[in-house]
Amino acid sequence: MKVLLAALSLLVFALPVGAAEPPAPIYLQAWLGALDTDSDSWKVSDPQSGEQALGDIGTLPYGGGAGQQLWGDGAWQFGYEGGGLVTWKNGRTEFRGNSNAVLVRIDNTFGAVGVFMGGVISVRPFNPVRLYVAGGPSVTMGWLFDDNSNNNDQTNPPGNGVTINLDNSKSDVSVVPYARAGIEFELGSGFAFGVSARYADDEFDFGEAGKLEFNQLLWVLTLGGRV
Protein backbone atom coordinates (compact mmCIF):
# COMPACT_ATOMS: atom_id res chain seq x y z
CA MET A 1 0.00 0.00 0.00
CA LYS A 2 2.87 2.39 0.81
CA VAL A 3 4.29 1.93 -2.71
CA LEU A 4 0.87 2.72 -4.23
CA LEU A 5 0.45 5.84 -2.10
CA ALA A 6 3.94 7.07 -3.02
CA ALA A 7 3.30 6.51 -6.73
CA LEU A 8 -0.03 8.34 -6.60
CA SER A 9 1.53 11.28 -4.79
CA LEU A 10 4.35 11.57 -7.37
CA LEU A 11 1.76 11.81 -10.16
CA VAL A 12 0.77 15.24 -8.87
CA PHE A 13 4.22 16.58 -9.81
CA ALA A 14 4.32 14.81 -13.17
CA LEU A 15 1.15 16.21 -14.71
CA PRO A 16 1.41 17.62 -18.23
CA VAL A 17 1.46 21.39 -18.44
CA GLY A 18 0.89 23.38 -21.61
CA ALA A 19 -0.86 26.55 -22.69
CA ALA A 20 -2.52 24.79 -25.64
CA GLU A 21 -4.13 22.08 -23.53
CA PRO A 22 -7.82 22.30 -22.61
CA PRO A 23 -8.72 23.13 -18.99
CA ALA A 24 -8.39 20.18 -16.64
CA PRO A 25 -11.82 18.91 -15.57
CA ILE A 26 -12.80 19.07 -11.90
CA TYR A 27 -15.05 16.43 -10.39
CA LEU A 28 -16.95 17.40 -7.24
CA GLN A 29 -18.47 14.84 -4.86
CA ALA A 30 -20.72 15.03 -1.82
CA TRP A 31 -20.44 12.04 0.54
CA LEU A 32 -22.89 10.20 2.74
CA GLY A 33 -21.69 6.96 4.32
CA ALA A 34 -21.04 4.74 7.31
CA LEU A 35 -18.18 2.90 9.02
CA ASP A 36 -18.92 -0.27 11.02
CA THR A 37 -16.36 -0.49 13.85
CA ASP A 38 -14.99 -3.70 15.36
CA SER A 39 -16.36 -5.16 18.59
CA ASP A 40 -13.01 -4.29 20.22
CA SER A 41 -12.56 -0.86 18.64
CA TRP A 42 -12.47 0.85 22.07
CA LYS A 43 -9.84 -0.49 24.48
CA VAL A 44 -9.47 0.78 28.04
CA SER A 45 -7.37 -0.35 31.01
CA ASP A 46 -8.09 0.24 34.70
CA PRO A 47 -5.24 2.47 36.01
CA GLN A 48 -5.18 0.59 39.36
CA SER A 49 -5.83 -3.07 38.56
CA GLY A 50 -4.49 -3.03 34.99
CA GLU A 51 -7.52 -5.04 33.84
CA GLN A 52 -8.43 -4.39 30.21
CA ALA A 53 -11.93 -4.06 28.83
CA LEU A 54 -13.13 -3.91 25.23
CA GLY A 55 -16.01 -1.82 23.92
CA ASP A 56 -17.87 -1.39 20.63
CA ILE A 57 -18.75 2.13 19.52
CA GLY A 58 -21.03 0.76 16.78
CA THR A 59 -21.66 2.10 13.29
CA LEU A 60 -20.51 5.69 12.71
CA PRO A 61 -22.39 7.89 10.20
CA TYR A 62 -20.18 10.04 7.96
CA GLY A 63 -20.66 13.08 5.78
CA GLY A 64 -18.18 15.02 3.69
CA GLY A 65 -16.98 15.64 0.19
CA ALA A 66 -14.05 15.75 -2.20
CA GLY A 67 -12.87 17.44 -5.36
CA GLN A 68 -10.66 15.87 -8.04
CA GLN A 69 -8.74 17.71 -10.75
CA LEU A 70 -7.55 15.45 -13.56
CA TRP A 71 -5.34 15.72 -16.64
CA GLY A 72 -4.94 13.42 -19.63
CA ASP A 73 -6.51 12.54 -22.97
CA GLY A 74 -8.41 9.41 -23.77
CA ALA A 75 -9.60 6.87 -21.25
CA TRP A 76 -6.82 7.45 -18.67
CA GLN A 77 -6.50 10.54 -16.51
CA PHE A 78 -4.19 11.50 -13.65
CA GLY A 79 -4.38 14.19 -11.00
CA TYR A 80 -5.03 14.87 -7.36
CA GLU A 81 -7.91 15.18 -4.92
CA GLY A 82 -8.62 16.93 -1.65
CA GLY A 83 -11.54 16.95 0.74
CA GLY A 84 -12.88 16.54 4.23
CA LEU A 85 -15.18 14.34 6.30
CA VAL A 86 -16.99 14.49 9.61
CA THR A 87 -18.74 12.05 11.98
CA TRP A 88 -20.74 12.49 15.19
CA LYS A 89 -22.51 9.90 17.31
CA ASN A 90 -24.23 9.72 20.71
CA GLY A 91 -24.56 6.29 22.26
CA ARG A 92 -24.05 3.90 25.14
CA THR A 93 -21.00 1.62 25.08
CA GLU A 94 -20.74 -1.64 27.03
CA PHE A 95 -17.24 -2.72 28.04
CA ARG A 96 -16.61 -6.43 28.50
CA GLY A 97 -13.73 -8.27 30.15
CA ASN A 98 -12.01 -11.57 29.39
CA SER A 99 -15.05 -13.53 30.64
CA ASN A 100 -17.33 -11.53 28.29
CA ALA A 101 -19.16 -10.11 31.31
CA VAL A 102 -20.24 -6.48 31.17
CA LEU A 103 -17.90 -4.50 33.44
CA VAL A 104 -19.21 -0.98 32.88
CA ARG A 105 -21.63 0.97 30.67
CA ILE A 106 -20.75 4.46 29.46
CA ASP A 107 -22.99 7.11 27.87
CA ASN A 108 -20.71 8.96 25.46
CA THR A 109 -20.45 11.09 22.36
CA PHE A 110 -17.71 10.66 19.75
CA GLY A 111 -16.98 13.20 17.03
CA ALA A 112 -14.24 13.59 14.42
CA VAL A 113 -13.31 16.03 11.65
CA GLY A 114 -10.68 15.18 9.03
CA VAL A 115 -9.01 16.50 5.88
CA PHE A 116 -7.04 14.65 3.21
CA MET A 117 -5.16 15.14 -0.07
CA GLY A 118 -3.68 12.61 -2.47
CA GLY A 119 -2.93 11.54 -6.02
CA VAL A 120 -5.60 10.05 -8.31
CA ILE A 121 -5.61 7.60 -11.23
CA SER A 122 -8.89 7.54 -13.20
CA VAL A 123 -10.00 5.44 -16.17
CA ARG A 124 -13.14 5.28 -18.32
CA PRO A 125 -13.48 1.70 -19.61
CA PHE A 126 -16.69 2.78 -21.36
CA ASN A 127 -19.25 5.56 -21.03
CA PRO A 128 -20.78 6.49 -18.65
CA VAL A 129 -18.56 4.57 -16.19
CA ARG A 130 -15.51 6.08 -14.48
CA LEU A 131 -13.24 4.09 -12.12
CA TYR A 132 -10.63 5.68 -9.88
CA VAL A 133 -8.15 5.00 -7.09
CA ALA A 134 -6.61 7.64 -4.83
CA GLY A 135 -4.27 7.84 -1.87
CA GLY A 136 -2.20 10.21 0.24
CA PRO A 137 -1.96 11.72 3.74
CA SER A 138 -4.94 12.42 6.01
CA VAL A 139 -5.27 14.32 9.29
CA THR A 140 -8.23 13.67 11.62
CA MET A 141 -9.05 15.18 15.01
CA GLY A 142 -11.33 13.19 17.31
CA TRP A 143 -13.24 14.14 20.48
CA LEU A 144 -14.76 11.96 23.18
CA PHE A 145 -17.34 13.34 25.63
CA ASP A 146 -18.99 11.97 28.77
CA ASP A 147 -22.68 12.68 28.15
CA ASN A 148 -23.79 12.31 31.77
CA SER A 149 -21.48 10.80 34.36
CA ASN A 150 -24.42 10.33 36.76
CA ASN A 151 -26.02 7.86 34.36
CA ASN A 152 -22.91 5.75 33.81
CA ASP A 153 -23.42 2.33 35.35
CA GLN A 154 -20.70 0.16 36.80
CA THR A 155 -22.47 -3.21 36.91
CA ASN A 156 -19.98 -5.28 38.91
CA PRO A 157 -18.58 -4.66 42.40
CA PRO A 158 -15.71 -2.13 42.48
CA GLY A 159 -13.11 -4.89 42.77
CA ASN A 160 -14.23 -6.42 39.47
CA GLY A 161 -15.08 -3.24 37.62
CA VAL A 162 -13.11 -0.94 35.33
CA THR A 163 -12.74 2.77 35.97
CA ILE A 164 -13.18 4.99 32.90
CA ASN A 165 -12.42 8.68 33.36
CA LEU A 166 -13.50 10.94 30.49
CA ASP A 167 -13.09 14.21 32.45
CA ASN A 168 -15.94 15.78 30.40
CA SER A 169 -13.96 15.66 27.13
CA LYS A 170 -10.81 14.20 25.56
CA SER A 171 -9.24 14.86 22.15
CA ASP A 172 -6.48 13.47 19.95
CA VAL A 173 -5.17 13.78 16.39
CA SER A 174 -4.54 10.90 13.96
CA VAL A 175 -2.13 11.42 11.04
CA VAL A 176 -2.11 8.39 8.72
CA PRO A 177 -2.14 7.57 4.99
CA TYR A 178 -5.46 6.79 3.33
CA ALA A 179 -6.46 4.84 0.22
CA ARG A 180 -9.72 5.14 -1.71
CA ALA A 181 -11.34 3.43 -4.69
CA GLY A 182 -14.63 4.20 -6.37
CA ILE A 183 -16.92 3.95 -9.34
CA GLU A 184 -19.05 6.74 -10.84
CA PHE A 185 -21.79 6.87 -13.44
CA GLU A 186 -21.94 10.21 -15.27
CA LEU A 187 -25.20 11.17 -16.96
CA GLY A 188 -25.52 13.33 -20.05
CA SER A 189 -26.57 16.29 -17.92
CA GLY A 190 -23.24 16.18 -16.07
CA PHE A 191 -24.71 14.77 -12.86
CA ALA A 192 -22.74 11.82 -11.46
CA PHE A 193 -23.44 9.25 -8.76
CA GLY A 194 -21.54 6.27 -7.44
CA VAL A 195 -20.00 4.47 -4.48
CA SER A 196 -16.57 4.64 -2.91
CA ALA A 197 -14.63 2.68 -0.29
CA ARG A 198 -12.02 4.47 1.85
CA TYR A 199 -9.47 2.97 4.25
CA ALA A 200 -7.45 4.82 6.89
CA ASP A 201 -6.11 3.11 10.04
CA ASP A 202 -7.03 5.96 12.38
CA GLU A 203 -6.20 5.57 16.08
CA PHE A 204 -7.05 8.03 18.85
CA ASP A 205 -5.40 7.88 22.29
CA PHE A 206 -7.67 9.45 24.92
CA GLY A 207 -5.43 8.66 27.90
CA GLU A 208 -7.37 7.12 30.82
CA ALA A 209 -10.47 7.01 28.59
CA GLY A 210 -8.73 4.42 26.41
CA LYS A 211 -7.88 4.09 22.73
CA LEU A 212 -10.20 4.07 19.73
CA GLU A 213 -9.07 2.39 16.50
CA PHE A 214 -10.97 2.44 13.21
CA ASN A 215 -9.43 -0.09 10.82
CA GLN A 216 -12.51 -0.94 8.75
CA LEU A 217 -13.65 0.33 5.34
CA LEU A 218 -15.70 3.51 5.17
CA TRP A 219 -18.40 3.05 2.52
CA VAL A 220 -19.86 6.21 1.00
CA LEU A 221 -22.47 7.14 -1.57
CA THR A 222 -21.10 9.89 -3.85
CA LEU A 223 -23.23 12.51 -5.58
CA GLY A 224 -21.88 15.32 -7.73
CA GLY A 225 -20.61 15.97 -11.21
CA ARG A 226 -17.97 17.49 -13.49
CA VAL A 227 -17.46 21.27 -13.61
Q: Is residue 115 situated within a structural domain?
A: no
> What is the number of residues in the chain?
227
Most confident of 3-7, 70-74, 85-89: 85-89
CA 74 distance to own-chain centroid? 32
Cα 204 from Cα 169, distance rounded (Å): 13
Q: Is residue 221 situated within a structural domain?
A: yes
Q: What is the pLDDT of residue 182?
A: 98
Q: Is residue 66 situated within a structural domain?
A: yes
Cis check for the bond before 125: say yes or no (omega within 30 of 0): no
Q: Is residue 118 situated within a structural domain?
A: no
Owning domain of residue 152: 2-18+28-72+82-109+124-226
- End-to-end CA, the chain: 31
Tens-place pLDDT, residues 139-191: 999 999 887 655 555 444 444 556 666 666 889 999 999 999 999 999 988 89
Q: What is the pLDDT of residue 152?
A: 53
Q: Is residue 119 situated within a structural domain?
A: no
Cα 139 from Cα 178, distance rounded (Å): 10
Q: How much helix, strand and coil, in percent to the nearest 5, is found in the chain?
A: 10, 65, 30
Q: Is 124 left (phi over 0), alpha (psi -120 to 50) or beta?
A: beta
Cα 103 from Cα 22, distance rounded (Å): 63
Q: What is the pLDDT of residue 144?
A: 93
pTM more than 0.85: no
Give the rounded percent of residues in the chain with a pLDDT score beyond 70: 79
Cα 13 from Cα 4, distance rounded (Å): 15
Q: Is residue 50 situated within a structural domain?
A: yes
pLDDT of residue 80 exceeding 50, the answer is yes
Q: Is residue 201 situated within a structural domain?
A: yes
Tell me if 90 sits within 8 A of 126, measured CB to CB. Answer: no
Q: What is the pLDDT of residue 1?
A: 53
pLDDT of residue 7 exceeding 50, the answer is no
Tens-place pLDDT, residues 15-39: 444 444 667 889 999 999 999 998 8
Cα 40 from Cα 143, distance rounded (Å): 18
Three-class DSSP category at 208: helix
Q: Is residue 117 situated within a structural domain?
A: no
Q: Of 67, 88, 86, nearest to 24 (Cα)?
A: 67
Cα 69 from Cα 81, distance rounded (Å): 6
Number of domains in the chain: 1
| Half-sphere exposure at residue 86, Cβ-oriented, CA atoms within 13 angstroms | 4
